[in-house]
Amino acid sequence: MNRFKDFQEFSAHLDGLGLFRMDLTLGRMQAFVRALGPAPSRAAVQVVGTNGKGSTATFLASVAQAHGLRTGLYTSPHFVDFRERLLLEGEMLSEQDWTDLANALERSAPGLDLTYFELLTALAALAFGQAGTELAVYEAGLGGTWDATTALPVDLTLFTPMGLDHEAILGPGLARITRDKAGAMRPNGLAVTGPQEPEVLDILADRAREIGAELHHAADLAGLPLAKHLGLSGPHQQENARLALAAWRLVARKRGWKADAQAETRGLARAFIPGRLQSVDFDPPLLLDGAHNEPALIALARALAALGLRPAGLIFACLKDKDLPAMLPLVQGLTDGPILVPELPGNERALSAQDLAGRLGPRARAVADLDAALNLLAGSKGRVLLCGSLYLLAEFYTKHPRFLTRPAT
């Protein structure tokens, strides 16, 4: 007998678990893996880090697809619909597929009491197994040691740049954060890192030695792709693409697949993920970017400079747990124009618009909501940048979902 009669019932169950409920242990996910039986023969890669995880995972999945492999991609968070998190061959599953997966999980591994993120991770692994994927790519949620994706068997763990974020959960300071994320490395496993601070590299190397893992540097395995050949904009995406290429070549060698340079180029060019310096034809014309911490804002500023873009204005919001003193000068430097700060309705974690605007200085103004900000900047001759919070982007995509998908070419 099925537990969930339809998608709405499963969706309500998922919402009832609480998006932000966390219990940072691996016991429940390990029980799920045991219930699945022997480890699948398909290849799998886990992507861990602070910034660039989603982009790197997307590049890797796109390169694998360009080689003709049946590929699954699991990322987070979503903007509008949790189904965005799980893609098979670049496409979301239907509502019926999700309902069937949830019921299959209940039958094979009942009573696990999984958290919101654990349940979606388990369903992704189940979906990839049922679909016969040849390569599954899993983006970690936050941290590494206790992240649900760390319970899954993988061929390779990737480390994107580490930075200060989620300190209330992972601990204060870059060293604490890195040690937590380094815990995702598997004993005697393979790992590849992109560029990191020296302190981070030392911690990763120490962890690899402790557990007998092999740690590679992406720069030793792949050249830096040209920015003009990438589906995602900005010079920082070159390093994300290189890390993805390095991962692809290692996995291909391990699995006996042939890596083809032309297919790699096609895959990098086809990669798409919303909210990564995404140019949108709107009124006002927009640039949408998910930068929401200090390292991401630095990368965003460099990307804008490299592309010769100077936003005519800025729409910015952020959460209370961010390092605001470090972020404020970066935000102020993104534009010479007005800075509008909308409220994020119903989000208790958001900093109030009035407070944030006051800290941003005389060019900043608090407004009621995103629509008010867009209306005030309508008619701008240059592009307006919208960034600072994924929840702000989610509000935009909820009202304008056509921008969530790759534009037709």
Do both 293 and 266 map to the same domain?
Answer: no
Question: What's 245's domain CATH number?
Answer: 3.40.1190.10
Q: Is 263 within 8 Å of 67 (Cβ atoms)?
A: yes
Q: How confident is the model at residue 167 (pLDDT cuts 50, 70, 90)?
A: low
In this prediction, residue 19 carries a pLDDT of: 77
Do both 27 and 154 map to the same domain?
Answer: yes
DSSP-derived pairing of the beta strands 71-74 and 86-88:
antiparallel
Share of the chain above pLDDT 90, in %: 80
Among candidate residues 270, 304, 326, the one where a domain is terminated: 270
Range of lowest pLDDT (11-15, 256-260, 317-321) = 317-321
Q: How confident is the model at residue 228 (pLDDT cuts 50, 70, 90)?
A: confident
In this prediction, residue 39 carries a pLDDT of: 67
Angstrom distance (rounded) from CA 5 to CA 100:
9
Among candidate residues 228, 246, 270, the one where a domain is terminated: 270
Angstrom distance (rounded) from CA 289 to CA 232:
11
Angstrom distance (rounded) from CA 125 to CA 328:
40
> Which stretches of 324-401 are DSSP H helices?
324-332, 353-360, 370-377, 390-399
Q: How confident is the model at residue 22 (pLDDT cuts 50, 70, 90)?
A: confident
**Segments forming the whole domain that contains residue 92:** 7-270
Q: What is the pLDDT of residues 87-110, one digit of tens each?
A: 999 999 999 999 999 999 999 898
Residue 233 has pLDDT above 90, yes or no: no
Total domains, the chain: 2
Whether residue 284 has a cis bond before it, omega within 30° of 0? yes
Residue 351 in any domain: the answer is: yes
Do both 240 and 370 map to the same domain?
Answer: no
Do both 194 and 244 map to the same domain?
Answer: yes
In this prediction, residue 170 carries a pLDDT of: 65
In this prediction, residue 53 carries a pLDDT of: 95
In this prediction, residue 257 carries a pLDDT of: 96
In this prediction, residue 24 carries a pLDDT of: 81
Question: What is the average pLDDT score of the chain?
Answer: 93
Q: How confident is the model at residue 348 (pLDDT cuts 50, 70, 90)?
A: confident
Residue 171 has pLDDT above 70, yes or no: no
Residue 401, CA atoms < 13 Å, CB-side half-sphere? 6
Residue 2 in any domain: the answer is: no
Do both 247 and 292 map to the same domain?
Answer: no
Do both 253 and 323 map to the same domain?
Answer: no
Residue 168 has pLDDT above 60, yes or no: no
Angstrom distance (rounded) from CA 333 to CA 337:
10
Do both 288 and 249 map to the same domain?
Answer: no
Q: What is the pLDDT of residues 282-338, one digit of tens each?
A: 999 999 999 988 988 998 999 999 899 999 999 999 988 888 999 999 999 999 999
Q: Is 335 exposed, middle or buried (0-12, 13-18, 19+ CB in 10 A)?
A: buried
Q: Is 318 within 8 Å of 388 (Cβ atoms)?
A: yes
Angstrom distance (rounded) from CA 182 to CA 37:
27
In this prediction, residue 179 carries a pLDDT of: 93
φ, ψ at 113 (rounded to 5°)? 55, 50
DSSP result, 113-139: ---HHHHHHHHHHHHHHHHT-SEEEEE
Among candidate residues 270, 286, 319, the one where a domain is terminated: 270
Share of the chain above pLDDT 70, in %: 97
Residue 409 in any domain: the answer is: no
> Rounded to 5 degrees, what angle do the CA atoms 273, 132, 77 make?
30
Do both 149 and 20 map to the same domain?
Answer: yes
Do both 57 and 189 map to the same domain?
Answer: yes
Do both 59 and 109 map to the same domain?
Answer: yes
Reduced to 3 DSSP states, what percent helix, strand and coil does the chain have, rounded to the nearest 5?
45, 15, 40
Do both 70 and 186 map to the same domain?
Answer: yes
**In which residue are the tokens 């291909």 written?**
252
- DSSP reduced 3-state for 327: helix
Do both 236 and 158 map to the same domain?
Answer: yes
DSSP-derived pairing of the beta strands 278-280 and 286-288:
antiparallel
Angstrom distance (rounded) from CA 18 to CA 368:
27
